[in-house]
Every structure is written in C-alpha cells, then in structure tokens.
A and B are shown apart, each in its own frame.
Chain A
Amino acid sequence: MVIKIEGLDFAYGAGKQSVPVLKNINVTIQKGMITAIIGQTGSGKSTLVQQLNALLKPTKGTVQIGEHVVTNKTKEKELAPIRAEVGMVFQFPESQLFAPTVLEDVMYGPKNFGATDEEAKKAAKTALKRVGFDATLYEQSPFNLSGGQMRRVALAGVLAMNPQTMVFDEPAAGLDPQGQEELLNLLKSLRDEGKTVVLISHQMDQVLALADRVLVLKDGEIAADEPVDQLFSRPQSWFAEQHLDLPETIAFQKQLEEKGFVFDGLCKTVPDLAKAIKKQLDPTKIQTLGSTISENGEANHE
C-alpha cells in the first residue's frame, strides 16, 4: 500500500485563529520500506504522520492511503477502514494503557475491529510474543510493569491489529540499549515481511541504521526527501541549519577528515569506522605511542 500526499497544507483551527503547520507537502511513502521523518521539535513531524491514518484531515490537498482518498471534505465514517490499515504507535504509548490486565489491553484493538474473543486472544498472544513480553505476566495489571515492559505491551496492542502500515513516533525513547536494539530489530522484521514502516526519530544513529528513505521537515515544509546515504552525505553545516545532529559515526568521520583522514563513502557502524581508521594508521607510531600509554596508564592529552 502506497501513501501519496499531494499539495497538502494543514492548519490547526480556522479563520483568523488558524495556525499553519504544514505547507505544500508532496511526498510518497513507498510500500515495504522504512521511511524516517526527522526535523527539529515543532517542525510538524507528528502533525504529518497524523495525516497518514486520517487522524487529521488536510486543510488543502489530498492524502491517498491505498484505495482511500482523504480531503478536508471526507466524512468521519469513511475514515474507519483507514485506521485499520494504518497502525499508529504514539510517543510514550504506555501512557495510553488502560485495561485491568496485559492480555485484555492488547486484545482491545482486534476486538474493536470486529475480532471474536478467541481471535483477539490469539492475535494478542502472537503480538506479545513478538515483542518479547514475558508470558507469565499476561494476567498482570499493565500498571505494575517497568517502563520497558509497558512499552512492549503498547507496541503489541498495535501489532495485534496487523495493519499493513505502521507509524512509530519516537518508539525507542527512554528504552535501555538492549530494549532499543530489540525494537530496531522488530521494525526491520516488519519491513522484511513487506509492511510499510514510518519512523519519527531524533536519534540519527537509529535513522542511519534503519531507514531506507528520509524525509526532513523544517518549519512545516519538506527540506529533503531522499535515500538515507544521500542525506547523510550532506555537509554538517546543512544539518546545523535544520537543527539536527549527524549520526555519531558520521560526525566523527567528518571530524577526522578535517585532520587529513580520507574515507571511501559513509561509515555506518562503529566496526566499519574502526576498520577504515585502522587502515590509515602508522603501525610504528602505534607501537611507540601505544606502549607509552600502557606503561603509565594515561593518555597524552594535549
């Protein structure tokens, strides 16, 4: 399912009080890809993704979601099928848990879309298993869980509905490194199954590791829409203008380039960067300098 946004403007409120948020957006979210949306706080990211499942309707222009076309005239009752096709995981989704037990909380979505109790339970268990949730805690109240476990329950709630497209707003914020890695693997596996994944993230390392394509928003307009490698090849000054950081590996690579190192393309991971650096070091210098360091246990900070 492709999502195509054409000539979209969006403003909160109407008339004199209206606050324009998105201006002249033309983008296509490709099927079976991970598209990252990045931009400074207030650039319109969360408002844009709410157009993807018609939680917000465009003020001007159209959003085509698979078979459905949404304009500002589309009636509320026509939007229900879209919500089943596009799942939305909001920021800190654990704040929206509500049911007395974990299992009931995850079953709520499928039941809401017409599944029987039995089907919903099956879907819920499959989803909970997929996010690595401990099966012995299914009957616990979700409010007694740690933050990381609550996040898993909230994610399972959306997975259980099995939508074709899933939108994640800062899904890894507040998770520990292991939790972050599990989450990134989940997003990759969804993509590999042919699902369309949209990711909002402030963490550029995550975007670099995951995204196929990146949309950059600035003040409600698209500042870039390109493959991830192309984006991160842009100069540091461009990222500074967007108030964005570079991923750590690439920022360090650029720092070394200023000191005369030469790299062939982008180093996406720490091991890749280490390998590329090592090739350019002088073994004799490593021996002399390396041994002085090991003798006195201190680096030469200058």
Chain B
Amino acid sequence: MTDAITIKNLTYSYPEQGQLFDNFSLSIQEGEWLSIVGHNGSGKSTLAKLILGLLDFDEGEIRVFGQKLQLETLAAIRSQVGMVFQNPDNQFVGATVADDVAFGLENRQVPSEEMPAMIEAALKQVGMAAYADREPHTLSGGQKQRVALASILALQPKVIILDEATAMLDPEGKQAVLQTLKQLKERYQSKLTLIMITHDMEEAALADRVAVIDDGRLVENEAPRALFLKGQELAALGLALPFAMALQKDLAIDQPVYRTKQELATWLSKLKA
C-alpha cells in the first residue's frame, strides 16, 4: 500500500507556548478515511496546517505521496491536498456559487472553455448543481460547506482534510455534509484519502481508523470498533463515547462489544423480559 501522507519524527514548537510535537510519527494510507480526535489544544488543527505547509516545523519530515514537503515542493503538494475549514463564512470569494468554484480553477490556469463543465461536475457531486447561480450568503451553513467541498473537488485533489467542517452546522446541514462525504468515498474509493478532524464521536466512527492526539502525542490509533471499547481510557483523554457505547457501559450486562444504536436496540429487544 502506498502512503498518502507520511509524517516522520516531527518536532514542532509554537512561537510562544513551547513544544507541541516531539518526535511525532503517523502514516495515512492512500484511500484511507482517517479521523483525528483529541481535546481542544491537543494539536489536531496544527497538524493539518503543518501538512499543508501553512506552518513550518522544526525537525523531521512530512511526505505527501512520497514527495518531501519543502519550499520547492509546496505548490505541487498543495495541488494534491484540499482543505475545508470550520467556518463556512470564511471560505467564499466568488459572487455566485459557480464563481466560487471557478476561482480555484482560475488559480490553476485551467482554460476558461473547460471550466463550466468542471464546475457543473463538481457541484453535482455535492448535490449543489441547482444552486450554481445563487449568491453564497443566501445558502445555509451545510450548503456552504458542500460548496466549499465542490471548490476543492473541482481541483481533483487526492487528499481532502476537513478541520471540524461540521462543527458550526445544524443537524440537517451536518447530515448532508456527512452523506456527501460517504458518497464521494463510494465514488472515488482508493483514489480519495479523507482526513477528518472532529470532536464528534458519531462522526469519527464513520472512518476506517481513528487517531487520538493528546498534547501532541499519538495515544490511540485504531479502528473505531476497537477504539470505542476503551471507555475509561477515552474519558481520561477528555473524549466522550458514542451514545450507544456510553449506554452499554452503564448497562454493564455483558462483555463490551461495539454496537451502533440500531444494533443495540435490536439486541436489547432480544433480552427483554
């Protein structure tokens, strides 16, 4: 398997607050869906910024598809990695939804005659094609985040990083974004690597693997089904369990097994007196 991103022996200190990462290593495989969780200030967002070369690290190396991140490769690497940020309102530059998607393509000097088809295709993939002529400020938060995703998809990245991209959305908007991500993953399979930074454990559970970061250290790194059995350890790291797992822990009637809400309800109905 090829690594999409390889972080090796990374050392990074904040300008004023001292060391965050000391000898930090993490690999993300091509086509993998990885969630990164950890309490506020644990270093999740800083890690994303380091991968994109938005911050300079002190020692170690970051490779994106084998290419070492440095000044000379920055542009090449950024063309492969797209990022969606938390605040849907800070990501718009265009007067219309279509203009906004066009902006990134213009930056890449895509010939203008090729643009309309690319814009339409990108908006279609996030279910926003009908909104192409709308002004961004008339959209809901969930719609804005899907347009932000479309702007990135138009550039055909191999990796998309979402930094708490659903944190500001209402439940409907959040579901729409997560649904879109699932569809994209379905469509691109191993050609798309997703890295999702989140506080939401239900959301983290969608991934193939969850990395838990605590004050710059990688403390857990495994599939959600295994990770969420560690109730005590997670609580000690300031993390909550998904609802079904928290309820099972309080029921305390069997050896812990990972179950979704649906699975738990079905199982409980079998045990009913």
Q: Which residues of A contact B (CB under 8 A)?
A: 40-42, 91-92, 95, 140-141, 144, 146-149, 170, 173-179, 202, 243-245, 248-249, 252, 255-256, 259-261, 270-271, 273-275, 277-278, 280-282, 285-286, 289-290, 293-294, 297-302
Contacts and interface: CB of A to CB of B under 8 A. Distances in A.
Interface string B236-258: 00111001001100111111011
22 contacts: A40-B170, A92-B87, A140-B16, A148-B39, A174-B164, A175-B40, A177-B199, A243-B171, A255-B261, A256-B265, A260-B272, A261-B268, A273-B250, A278-B251, A281-B253, A286-B253, A293-B254, A294-B255, A297-B255, A299-B258, A299-B259, A300-B267
A173, A177, A245, A248 — most chain B CB neighbours (10 Å): A177
B167 interface: yes
A287 B114 CA distance: 66
A176 B40 contact: yes
A91, A178, A294 — most chain B CB neighbours (10 Å): A178
Nearest to B261: A252
Nearest to A151: B40
Nearest to A284: B273
B140, B259, B267 — most chain A CB neighbours (10 Å): B267
B273 A202 contact: no
A118 to B, nearest CB: 27
B109 interface: no
Contacts of B142: 41
Given A252-B247, A256-B268, 12 more contacts: A42-B140, A141-B16, A146-B41, A177-B238, A255-B261, A260-B269, A270-B247, A274-B251, A277-B247, A278-B253, A286-B254, A302-B266
B141 interface: yes
Contacts of B111: none
B168 A274 contact: no
B272 A281 contact: yes
Nearest to B266: A302
Nearest to B40: A148
Contacts of A273: 247, 250
B267 A299 contact: yes
Interface in B213-252: 238-240, 243, 246-247, 250-252
Nearest to B240: A177
A259 B272 contact: yes
Nearest to A178: B238
A45 to B, nearest CB: 10
Contact of A179 (B38, B40, B270): B40
Contacts of B271: 281-282, 285-286, 289
Contacts of A282: 271-273
B221 to A, nearest CB: 19
A92 B168 contact: yes
A93 B193 CA distance: 33
A273 B243 CA distance: 12
Contacts of B39: 148, 176-179
Contact of B40 (A146, A261, A281, A290): A146
A135 B269 CA distance: 52
B148 to A, nearest CB: 16
B82 to A, nearest CB: 21
B14 interface: yes
Contacts of B172: 40-41, 243
Nearest to B250: A274
A141 B239 CA distance: 28
A175 B86 CA distance: 12
Given A40-B170, A176-B39, A261-B272, A294 B266 contact: no
B182 to A, nearest CB: 19
Interface in B45-86: 45, 86
B47 to A, nearest CB: 13
B157 interface: no
A256 to B, nearest CB: 6
A286 B247 CA distance: 16
A104 B270 CA distance: 60
A148 B257 CA distance: 33
Given A177-B238, A289-B271, A147 B247 contact: no
A277 B251 contact: yes
Contacts of B140: 41-42
Contact of B269 (A243, A249, A259): A259
Nearest to B39: A176
A281 B255 contact: no
Contacts of A274: 247, 250-252
Contact of A202 (B171, B199, B267): B171
A18 to B, nearest CB: 16
Contact of A285 (B167, B238, B252, B270): B270
Given A173-B167, A274-B251, A293-B257, A147 B141 contact: no
A221 B243 CA distance: 32
Contacts of A255: 261, 265
